[in-house]
Amino acid sequence: MRKSALTLLAAVLGLAAGQASAADLQRRAPAPAYVTTPAPPPMTWTGCYIGGNIGGIFGRAHADFDLGELSSNNNSGFAGGGQIGCDYQYAGGWVLGFRNMLDGAGLSRDRTAVFNGDRVTVNIKNDWFDTLTGRVGYAFAPSWLLYGQGGAVWAKNSAEVHINGDDLGTLSKTRTGWTAGGGIEWMFAPNWSAFLEGNFMDFGSNDRNINTAVGTVCASGCSFSTKATATTLLVGVNYRFNWGKAPY
């Protein structure tokens, strides 16, 4: 009888201990959760942008008269303005886009020659140029883009003609030509990029006619054609309004 009572007591104590252990397990604090910070999205050149630029313009011009040619040596001036455009980046790093750039220019060239004893001077100026170009580039690193571009250019050119010191007036016209060039662009911060580029512009030729006083070289009228080309070297900054996700 005593042995049975001891056995029953041991069983009761064991059951109580098991219930206490189970209660302790239920009250144990959960393991701490690990919080991971999401990785920043990869860079992309997809989007539209607006910006400004500054640099130099280097030109060459000549005027072909009935009487001869007035050639011009290379000359240089200031260029600066703004640009707006859009790009789209494909998988693999290829980027296609278009851009419009409008810059003021301080380029002026004087040429003088003597024809039949009369001194003829022509001053050719370029006041501004506007380029509309398509471009193709390759992002050889996520934040670096190497590109080439080409398209149309419009420029305000004027020619001031002087014969023997007399001002015969200014003949001005907006010319249409072509341009080609390329550069490199660096995305140095989210939505911000900087570029360095060079471009060649051919403004084509323009035919003109003048009449001067009796007894001068163009008394019966002179026809002449002016032609101008220019090269630009520009640095600039763009602010980008990205609309898409990176393609990689």
What is residue 12's predicted lDDT score, i.e. its pLDDT? 47
Mean pLDDT for the stretch of residues 68-85:
82
pLDDT for residue 183 is more than 60: yes
Give the three-state DSSP class for 204. Answer: strand
50 or 5: which leads in pLDDT: 50
Distance CA 80, CA 55 (A): 6
For 1-5, 203-207, 235-239, which range has the lowest pLDDT when averaged over its residues? 1-5
In tens, the pLDDT along 82-139 reads 999 999 999 889 999 999 999 999 887 777 767 667 777 777 778 899 999 999 999 9
Q: What is the pTM of this model?
A: 0.73
Picking from 105, 226, 202, the residue whose alpha carbon sits closest to that of residue 153 is: 202
Ordered by start, the domain boundaries in the chain are 54-241
* CA contacts within 13 A on the Cβ side of 72: 25
Cβ(199)–Cβ(232) below 8 Å:
yes
Rounding to the nearest 10 degrees, give the CA dihedral for residues 136, 247, 241, 51: -30
Fold of the domain built from segment(s) 54-241: Porin (2.40.160)
pLDDT for residue 178 is more than 70: yes
In tens, the pLDDT along 6-43 reads 555 455 455 555 554 554 545 555 655 555 656 556 67
What is residue 108's predicted lDDT score, i.e. its pLDDT? 76
DSSP one-letter string for 70-135 = EE---EEEEEEEEEEEEEEEPTTSEEEEEEEEEEEEEEEEEEEEEETTEEEEEEEEEEEEEEEEEE
> b/e map of 130-162 (b: 16 or more CB within 10 Å)?
ebebebebebeeeebbebebbbebbbbbebbbb
Mean pLDDT for the stretch of residues 58-69:
72
Distance CA 80, CA 173 (A): 21
Mean pLDDT for the stretch of residues 191-208:
90
Cβ(75)–Cβ(57) below 8 Å:
no
What is residue 109's predicted lDDT score, i.e. its pLDDT? 74
162 or 19: which leads in pLDDT: 162
Mean pLDDT for the stretch of residues 40-63:
86
What is residue 34's predicted lDDT score, i.e. its pLDDT? 55
> Pairing between strand 47-65 and 166-189?
unpaired
